[in-house]
Structure 1
């Protein structure tokens, strides 16, 4: 099937878990496309100024197998690390099934076909802490529809804001509650007798 090109711009992260207790955090990202025979991986530059709010604006391109993408077998993984003299340290990661980034998904365009999304970062201890923002677009094929019934894996972190991500179902609104609400009206037998009497009086009045 036709190959696609996924263009990414890894913009920034914010409010990351501060794992350096003495020195400032120098954070970089490793972007990987998993699921194909040939794993594709790119590393950003190290941000030495942002601390727990790094900025990269790093452009990335990946070749995407359309068949594997349609089958939901490709996953975009962004891992965040701290660059340290005694060994780099893992800060967290974002995992997104590629099928959820297809053009039918939500997102805000920047006027050049790029869509911006923000995802929560999952720390090594499996907590949600901080967020990652990137923009993307697909080139090389017609629009591919994302199946709304498909569920993301448990390791996938849903977007943290703006409502991005697959939410195909909405629950019914709850019944009204609160002060002064007494539920639907209840009718007694006495109410029914009074209603019948009113109808009888109305009928007699019409005859006269």
Structure 2
């Protein structure tokens, strides 16, 4: 099976909608690739100081199937939430196809397969307030034996 390592670093968000009227916003992000299955979701620590301008500089690593980069169906989804005692409150999200990320990084320069992007945060079907900044990079294509993959999926997933 052909796979690649994919590394994403959520750097920061700015000018987010303030969804807390009485207390400070404490924002974290949940990242998933492909479907929205709970097994693929990873989470940043909660930023307790930036409020509507949170900063994480937090890196997450995945191993993804090469087929995820061949069509527009596989999406990177980053959802932002404000932490609350009564349950987290949704702030907004970004969706972008993995294929577009790969092609942008591949054509970005110096053959690094890496890039930095800032995308508008959306809430529902319209742009909401704010933007999310992140960097990412793709590793080289490797062939992985399915049996070997089953043994080492604990910290890397999606292949």
TM-score (norm 1): 0.61
Per-residue CA shift, 1:99-126, capped at 9, x if unaligned?
11114456589xx764110000002473
More strand by share: 2
CA shift at 1:38, angstroms? 8.4
Contact 1:7 1:62 in 2 (8 A): yes
- SS state of the match for residue 67, structure 1? helix
The aligned counterpart of 1:126 is 126
CA shift at 1:36, angstroms? 9.0
* CA distance, structure 2, for counterparts of residue 37 and residue 66 of structure 1: 19
The aligned counterpart of 2:10 is 10
Contact 1:17 1:129 in 2 (8 A): yes
Residues 169-208 of structure 1: matches in 2 within 5 Å?
A: none
The aligned counterpart of 1:91 is 91
CA shift at 1:39, angstroms? 4.8
**Greater relative CO, 1 or 2 (CA 8 Å, sep 6+):** 2
CA shift at 1:129, angstroms? 1.4
Task: Report the count of equivalent residues.
Answer: 140
The aligned counterpart of 2:78 is 78
Superposition RMSD in Å: 2.5
Per-residue CA shift, 1:45-76, capped at 9, x if unaligned?
00000000000011011111111320222100
The aligned counterpart of 2:155 is none
* CA distance, structure 2, for counterparts of residue 125 and residue 73 of structure 1: 18
The aligned counterpart of 1:100 is 100
Contact 1:107 1:117 in 2 (8 A): no
Gaps of 5+ in 1: 143-208
Q: Which runs of 4+ in 1 moved over 3 A?
A: 35-39, 103-109, 124-127
The 1:137–1:91 alpha-carbon spacing in structure 2 relative to 1, beyond 3 Å, is: same
* CA distance, structure 1, for counterparts of residue 102 and residue 121 of structure 2: 21
Confirm or deny that 1:34 pairs with 2:34.
yes
TM-score (norm 2): 0.78
Residues 128-147 of structure 1: matches in 2 within 5 Å?
A: 128-141=128-141
CA shift at 1:37, angstroms? 8.2
The aligned counterpart of 2:67 is 67
